[in-house]
Chains A and B, each alone.
Chain A
Amino acid sequence: MSILEYLANGLVFSSIIVLSGVGLSLIYSIASFANFAHGDTMTVGAYGALVSFGAVGSMGGLLFGLPYGFYVALAAGALLAALVAVITQRLVYEPLEIGSIGLLITSIGIAFVYRALIQLGFGTDGRRYAVPAMRPVEWLVPVGIRITVQEIAIVAFAAVFVVALHLVLTRTLLGQMMRAMADDASLARVSGVRTSRIKLWTWVLGAGLAGAGGVFLGLYNQIEPRMGFNILLVVFAAVILGGIGSVYGAMLGGFLIGMVDQLMPVLGDIGIPIGTEYSYAVAFLIMVGVLLARPSGIAGTTER
């Protein structure tokens, strides 16, 4: 495979990590804890889309190689993930009077509950969305890139979602209040921000993006109950690399970690003997390295 093709694959995988990472970072900065249920929120989104795609069917034509019905399913998956997260916040996290470590441990329990319920409902076998199989885009093949229209769609949608989040954060009152809360929650509160409502909106946005990321992950690989938990640490690695709590850092970190993951074979080509099975291990070591050298991340400004 050519280096360009590795880069193209890296871009697709990065897009998924970025979608999930941005949500994780948002929740970290406003709900103030490392949410270990974030990966399983992605799984919830993927299965939500699976069910709704089965219900609505293909609905006629194709857009970017994906049936119209798939886009309905994408929205439904993201909404379901957001809804589940909001219910969890109201039912579990909000009533707890406990520090960030207690919330972190609770979120592990929540992750298990999500995954167990999905296993009970759907079994443990891997599944795929019923979308037509695509051949690589023809005009890119001569350049050395074999990538399908669907994979290009993943990158495009990730870009749209990230830009939309950027606009929400910078141009709307909600975004201003969210940023105020991330800076100083008590100051925001005395300034009249209804912090518990903003927190709920944060969960909607963060979990919705994770749900969309989960749908794309299911499209890129396959849908199975462990998919989210397996990728969670990679997402954490990306978020820490970019600076936890920083949304823009998460974008950059997600991009870099996704690239590193897919560029592992190149290391073998240029003579560094390390197999692709170590790609996650390399990502985790990069994460620990960043924590050591620059705990605030490459784009982070917050002192921790």
Chain B
Amino acid sequence: MTAIRSRLSIPAEPTVRVALGAVSVLTMLLVVGLLTGGIGPAYLLYLLGLSGMYVLLAIGLNVQWGYTGMINFSVAAFFGLGAYGSAILTASNTPTGLSLSPLVGLVVGVGLAAVVAVLIAVPTLRLSADYLAIATLGLAEVVRIIIQNQRAVTNGNAGLRGLPKFSEGWPLLGGFPTGAPTVTLSEITLGPFTLLGFRLGRPVWQGLLDLSVVVVMILVVYALVRRLHRSPWGRVLRTIRSDEELAKALGKPTFRHKMEAFVLGSVIMAVAGVYYAHLNLFVTPQNLAPINTFYVWIAVILGGAGSNRGAVFGGFMIIAIREGTRFLRELLPQQLGSGGAVTDLYTTVIGNFGATRLLAVGLLIVLVIRIRPEGVLPPRSELIWPETREEPDE
């Protein structure tokens, strides 16, 4: 009985309830939006795919910051290397003139990120934390400046477009979006509301396929990272996080461990970048802007550093913040009241939504650190081997 109660009490942990509450409210909003026609089904699937991409990025950063305590401000660079590594080989307007399969792009993008990760890690990982932050941000800018200016390879600011979908050319699945039948869901009138009334055609099936690709990626990466985190290797990383000198004194090659964690995290970010390139079908140097690095940081801090489920939660919340503010702008009236300071302020806030979002992001960073520096879902049970627990765990 006590065993059952203690197991039941796990979801009752207040922050888990907050997280579950946030997720269910979001899901409800999305379902309502879908049913009432506020969000097209293809766009909803695109958003979910983007969320999956952020989940991957957050897991990658979590390996570096959450497990090992290495500050990496070059997330956007590794994301961009993955995206560009694949796009250069596959895009229709690429200066290289190649049109290879995205699977080749995945291998090349990941390989490129791994090589650059080693190049960045060798000089910087010996630095103390705040120097590491500045150095990685500087090197990320170097990568961005190179991609922006090497027009002969990257097409510069115009970006690369006309990329193939990830699944293009796969046996069976590649033809699924065109082959699947178009289903029309007829409108239902329920009192004052009109529900449904959209077609499930090719874009929806394609979106579903894209989403499945990222879900598979997340499952593989999550399982790998979870297993590694529990292994002796992960234990050394946690020791480095809390006291690197101690790890050294125990005879652990800390530099090698940090290097491995840095490369692993960067490779996961590059996978997210490759996925993004073939989801969005368009990449520009703007994708490597530092702000994108900080979005991923917010995801990890909000979710809880070192916590895998926190990274997943944080990844979803970022899309909720980024895209949610956009929906809010469409939902809110363009004007409030008539005249006066409040109306002016309201018009300014609604009229500059980019700035309003930046303000929200800034305040969120400050508030999370102020109120809950350990994040919403701090690491707890994932550090314990299932067999060593008192209660059995299915």
* Same assembly: yes
Chain A residues in contact with chain B, CB under 8 A?
Answer: 33-34, 92, 95-96, 98, 100-102, 104-106, 108-113, 115-117, 119-121, 123-124, 233, 236-237, 240, 244, 275, 277-278, 280-281, 284-285, 287-288, 291-292, 295, 304
Number of interface residues of B (CB under 8 A): 41
Most chain A beta-carbon contacts within 10 A, residue among B139, B301, B366: B366
B359:A120 contact, CB within 8 angstroms? yes
A110:B366 contact, CB within 8 angstroms? yes
Q: CA of A294 to CA of B312 in the docked complex: distance in angstroms? A: 40
B352:A287 contact, CB within 8 angstroms? no
A287:B138 contact, CB within 8 angstroms? yes
Q: CA of A295 to CA of B294 in the docked complex: distance in angstroms? A: 26
B123, chain A: closest CB distance, angstroms: 5
Taking A100-B129, A233-B138, A291-B124 as contacts, is the C-beta distance between A109 and B369 under 8 angstroms? yes
A-B contact pairs, 18 of them (CB 8 A): A34-B130, A101-B129, A101-B130, A106-B369, A112-B358, A112-B362, A113-B363, A116-B358, A119-B354, A120-B349, A236-B138, A240-B134, A277-B149, A287-B135, A288-B124, A288-B139, A292-B126, A304-B128
| Contacting residue for A291 out of B123, B349, B358, B366, CB 8 A | B123
Complex contacts, A304 vs chain B, CB 8 Å: 128, 131
Complex contacts, B364 vs chain A, CB 8 Å: 109
Q: Does B145 contact A (CB under 8 A)?
A: yes
Known: A112-B365, A240-B134, A281-B142. 4 other contacts (CB 8 A): A33-B130, A113-B359, A116-B358, A281-B146
The chain B residue sitting closest to A244, CB to CB, is B131
B355:A116 contact, CB within 8 angstroms? yes
The chain A residue sitting closest to B358, CB to CB, is A116
The chain A residue sitting closest to B132, CB to CB, is A291
Q: Does B297 contact A (CB under 8 A)?
A: yes
Q: CA of A278 to CA of B127 in the docked complex: distance in angstroms? A: 25
B294:A284 contact, CB within 8 angstroms? no
Complex contacts, A104 vs chain B, CB 8 Å: 71, 130, 133
B139:A112 contact, CB within 8 angstroms? no
Q: CA of A107 to CA of B8 in the docked complex: distance in angstroms? A: 40
Complex contacts, B348 vs chain A, CB 8 Å: 120-121
A119:B138 contact, CB within 8 angstroms? no
A99, chain B: closest CB distance, angstroms: 9
For B115-156 the 0/1 string (1 means CB < 8 A from A) is: 000000001101111110111011101100110110000000
Shortest Cβ-Cβ A-B pairs, 8 listed = A109-B365, A112-B362, A116-B359, A284-B138, A119-B355, A113-B362, A116-B358, A109-B366
Chain B residues in contact with chain A, CB under 8 A?
Answer: 71, 123-124, 126-131, 133-135, 137-139, 141-142, 145-146, 148-149, 294, 297, 301, 348-349, 352, 354-356, 358-359, 361-366, 369-370, 373
Q: CA of A285 to CA of B149 in the docked complex: distance in angstroms? A: 17
The chain A residue sitting closest to B354, CB to CB, is A119
B376, chain A: closest CB distance, angstroms: 16
B366:A287 contact, CB within 8 angstroms? no
Complex contacts, A116 vs chain B, CB 8 Å: 355-356, 358-359, 362
The chain B residue sitting closest to A91, CB to CB, is B366
Taking A113-B359, A120-B359, A123-B352 as contacts, is the C-beta distance between A92 and B370 under 8 angstroms? yes
Q: CA of A80 to CA of B373 in the docked complex: distance in angstroms? A: 30
Complex contacts, A110 vs chain B, CB 8 Å: 362, 366
A284:B366 contact, CB within 8 angstroms? no
Complex contacts, B123 vs chain A, CB 8 Å: 288, 291-292
The chain B residue sitting closest to A111, CB to CB, is B362
Taking A95-B370, A284-B139 as contacts, is the C-beta distance between A240 and B131 under 8 angstroms? yes
Q: CA of A102 to CA of B146 in the docked complex: distance in angstroms? A: 31
A237, chain B: closest CB distance, angstroms: 7
Q: CA of A116 to CA of B359 in the docked complex: distance in angstroms? A: 5
| Contacting residue for B358 out of A105, A119, A295, CB 8 A | A119
Q: CA of A39 to CA of B301 in the docked complex: distance in angstroms? A: 23
Q: CA of A101 to CA of B127 in the docked complex: distance in angstroms? A: 14
A233:B358 contact, CB within 8 angstroms? no
Complex contacts, A124 vs chain B, CB 8 Å: 354-355
The chain A residue sitting closest to B71, CB to CB, is A101
B373:A98 contact, CB within 8 angstroms? yes
Taking A119-B355, A280-B145 as contacts, is the C-beta distance between A291 and B301 under 8 angstroms? no
Taking A119-B358, A240-B131 as contacts, is the C-beta distance between A105 and B365 under 8 angstroms? yes
Q: CA of A108 to CA of B139 in the docked complex: distance in angstroms? A: 18
B127, chain A: closest CB distance, angstroms: 6
Complex contacts, A100 vs chain B, CB 8 Å: 129-130
Complex contacts, A95 vs chain B, CB 8 Å: 370
Q: CA of A244 to CA of B135 in the docked complex: distance in angstroms? A: 13
The chain A residue sitting closest to B363, CB to CB, is A113
B134:A105 contact, CB within 8 angstroms? no
B161, chain A: closest CB distance, angstroms: 23
Complex contacts, B363 vs chain A, CB 8 Å: 109, 113
A273, chain B: closest CB distance, angstroms: 13
Q: CA of A119 to CA of B351 in the docked complex: distance in angstroms? A: 11
Complex contacts, A288 vs chain B, CB 8 Å: 123-124, 135, 138-139
Most chain B beta-carbon contacts within 10 A, residue among A95, A278, A284, A292: A284
B301:A105 contact, CB within 8 angstroms? yes
B134:A236 contact, CB within 8 angstroms? yes
Q: CA of A295 to CA of B76 in the docked complex: distance in angstroms? A: 26
A290, chain B: closest CB distance, angstroms: 10
Complex contacts, A113 vs chain B, CB 8 Å: 359, 362-363, 366
B147, chain A: closest CB distance, angstroms: 11
Complex contacts, A284 vs chain B, CB 8 Å: 138-139, 141-142
A136, chain B: closest CB distance, angstroms: 30
| Contacting residue for B370 out of A96, A115, A277, CB 8 A | A96
Complex contacts, A109 vs chain B, CB 8 Å: 361-366, 369
Q: CA of A112 to CA of B297 in the docked complex: distance in angstroms? A: 14
The chain B residue sitting closest to A237, CB to CB, is B138
Complex contacts, B365 vs chain A, CB 8 Å: 105-106, 108-109, 112
Complex contacts, A281 vs chain B, CB 8 Å: 141-142, 145-146
B118, chain A: closest CB distance, angstroms: 15
Complex contacts, B369 vs chain A, CB 8 Å: 96, 98, 102, 105-106, 109
The chain B residue sitting closest to A99, CB to CB, is B129
Complex contacts, B129 vs chain A, CB 8 Å: 100-101
